[in-house]
């Protein structure tokens, strides 16, 4: 399934939170691992007392040190330093992704806040926005290097919206459920009238009664659609379940993940990030901000 995994690192323990998960998946699928660092233009040597790699030699030595961590024992590891200073680290990582051709990028979701979060957290969001490679975001930690997380999954949550073109994440979730012999739980969220936006929101103000009827029909249709998808998954050997919910999609996804004690959330995303995500109401961006479990985001755009 995964044959080549890319892990961007910036020298911090928070970024190293991705190593345990990446190593676990590499061992599971026999994949190779590439550790990458991009030299950032005019970067400070420290941020919140954490080192920030600023020279090619320092970065190469650091990546070589990480490659020999006990957590990566038994994994084929290579390293790459982009030596020319760049202003846009996310774009550089995305360009290297196109060149190195990984089928998965694993990285820490964000830091503790402040500058570190802005530097590395924003980079994670931008890589998702710019690229076409699935990105697995793991919860940051300052535990022992590379040993804070692993792919020991029992329940995978896969939100879908009924549009087949938006369900590129579902085959990935299905393959993972089979590989890890775990349960795949489908979730479809139908908004309540107060959660409609854009044209639908405007129409709901003009025709509230008709909108409520349509939403009830959508809810019934969602149950039928989920039942069909569940049967398809079960026929292919997936232990699948499903449910519908009403309300704000992002809140419903986070709530379901907590209630089910899901180990992973897999969802497709259009890759909106930053202010664009805010103004367009990107569900994936909101789930990233709120959920505490690992999230595997599969870009809906084509390569």
What is the longest distance spanned by two Cα atoms in the chain?
66
> 72, exposed or middle or buried, with CB in 10 Å at 0-12, 13-18, 19+?
buried
Residue 211: count of CB within 10 angstroms of its CB: 17
The tokens describing 296, both together, are 């595997």
Q: Are strands 295-299 and 135-138 parallel, antiparallel or unpaired?
A: antiparallel
- Confidence band for 242, pLDDT divided at 50, 70 and 90: very high
Listed ranges 38-47, 214-223, 266-275; the one with the highest mean pLDDT: 38-47
Residue 218 dihedral angles phi and psi, to the nearest 5°: -65, -40
Q: Which two tokens stand for residue 168?
A: 């590129």
Better pLDDT: 119 or 161: 161
CATH topology for 4-138 is Rossmann fold (3.40.50)
The rounded radius of gyration (Å) of the Cα atoms in the chain is 20
User: How confident is residue 247, by pLDDT bands cut at 50, 70 and 90?
Assistant: confident
Residue 279 sits at the vertex; the CA angle it makes with 275 and 283, to the nearest 5 degrees, is 95
User: Measured between alpha carbons, how far is 54 from 39 in angstroms, rounded to an integer?
Assistant: 6
What's the token pair of residue 162? 């009924």
Q: How far apart are CA 255 and CA 79, in angstroms?
A: 38
User: What would the pLDDT profile of 135-178 be if each residue is shown by its tens digit?
Assistant: 999 887 766 566 666 778 999 999 987 777 778 889 999 999 99
Helix residue spans in the chain (DSSP H): 18-29, 56-67, 89-100, 114-116, 122-130, 169-180, 198-206, 208-235, 249-260, 274-280, 283-290
Q: How many CB atoms lie within 10 A of CB 198?
A: 9
Domain 155-299 in the same topology as domain 4-138:
yes
pLDDT at residue 143, as a whole number: 62
What's the average model confidence in pLDDT over 250-270?
92
Which residue, 115, 123, 71, is CA-closest to 97?
Answer: 123
pLDDT tier at 115, thresholds 50, 70, 90? very low
Class of domain 155-299: alpha beta
Give pTM, 2 decimals: 0.82
CB atoms within 10 A of CB 163: 9
State the chain's mean pLDDT as an integer. 78
- Report the candidate in 140, 180, 156, 125 with the shortest Cα–Cα distance to residue 299: 125
65 Cβ partners below 8 Å, 6+ apart? none
Where in the chain are the domains?
Answer: 4-138, 155-299
How far is residue 109's CA from residue 117's CA, in Å, rounded to a whole number?
A: 9
């Amino acid at each position: 399934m995964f044959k080549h995994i890319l892990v961007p690192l910036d020298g911090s323990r928070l970024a190293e939170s991705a190593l345990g998960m990446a190593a676990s998946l590499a061992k599971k699928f026999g994949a190779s691992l590439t550790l990458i660092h991009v030299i950032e233009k005019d970067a400070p040597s420290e941020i919140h007392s954490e080192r920030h790699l600023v020279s090619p030699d320092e970065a190469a030595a650091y990546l070589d040190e990480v490659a020999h961590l006990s957590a990566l024992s038994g994994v084929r590891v290579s390293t790459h330093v982009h030596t020319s200073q760049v202003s846009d680290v996310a774009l550089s990582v995305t360009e290297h992704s196109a060149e190195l051709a990984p089928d998965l990028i694993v990285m820490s979701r964000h830091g503790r806040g402040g500058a570190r979060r802005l530097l590395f957290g924003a980079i994670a969001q931008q890589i998702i926005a710019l690229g076409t490679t699935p990105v697995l975001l793991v919860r940051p930690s300052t535990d022992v290097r590379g040993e804070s997380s692993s792919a020991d999954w029992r329940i995978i949550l896969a939100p879908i919206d009924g549009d087949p073109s938006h369900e590129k994440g579902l085959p990935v979730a299905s393959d993972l459920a089979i590989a890890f012999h775990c349960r795949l739980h489908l979730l479809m969220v139908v908004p309540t009238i107060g959660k409609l936006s854009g044209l639908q929101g405007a129409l709901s103000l003009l025709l509230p009664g008709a909108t409520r009827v349509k939403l009830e029909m959508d809810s019934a249709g969602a149950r039928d659609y989920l039942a069909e998808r569940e049967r398809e998954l079960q026929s292919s050997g997936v232990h699948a379940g499903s449910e519908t919910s009403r309300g704000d999609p992002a809140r419903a996804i986070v709530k379901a993940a907590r209630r089910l004690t899901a180990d992973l959330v897999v969802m497709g995303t259009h890759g909106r990030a930053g202010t664009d995500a805010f103004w367009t109401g990107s569900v994936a961006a909101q789930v990233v901000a709120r959920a505490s479990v690992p999230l595997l985001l599969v870009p809906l755009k084509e390569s």
